[in-house]
Structure 1
Amino acid sequence: MSEQFSTKDVASHNTVDNGLYIIIDGNVYGMAGFVDEHPGGAKILKRVGGKDASKQFWKYHNENVLKKYSDRLKIGTVKEEAKL
C-alpha cells in the first residue's frame, strides 16, 4: 500500500530542498531527483511544486509519459479530506 498525503503535506514540499512533490490525478510524485532530467526544464516543475499539476501535465504529456515514470516517481496518493 502506498503512502497517503494530505494536500497540506504536499504543499509543504514545494521546493527541491523539501522534496518537490506534485499531484497528478490524485497521485503524489516526488520530483526533486527528476528536476534536472525534465525535458521541459526545471523551471516548470519548480513552479508547480506542492500543487496539483494535473491540468499542466495533461496539456503537454500523454498517458505513456505517466506510465514510463510512474514506478520511479510515484510516492503515494492524496488522502480524501473531510469536508466540513
Structure 2
Amino acid sequence: MSTEILCLKEVAMRLSGIVSEAYAWPQQPHPEFHLEFIVCPGGELALDFLCKKRAMFWSEFANEVFETPVKQNGEPITWQDLMRVGIPFMS
C-alpha cells in the first residue's frame, strides 16, 4: 500500500462513486494536519487528521471525533473500499 499523502479533495473525488452524496466531508482543521484513515482492531475505519511534525492526531489535540464516510446504502466504508480506489490507510 502506498504511503502517499492525499488531500481531502482528492480522497473525496476517489470515493465519489462509493460514498453517499449526503455525507458531508469534514474541513481540514489545520494546515499541518492531513487526512488519515485508520483500520481499528475490530475492522471498522476511523477518520482523523494527523500532524506528522507533532506525531499527534487531531482527535487527541482537540478532542474532536469525525464521522467516517458511509456508502450509498448507509453502511460504513471499509478498508477494502479504500484499497480499491488507491487510498492509503493505517492499520
Normalising by structure 2, report the TM-score. 0.29
Which has a greater percent of helix? 1
- The higher-RCO structure (CA 8 Å, 6+ apart) is 1
Normalising by structure 1, report the TM-score. 0.30
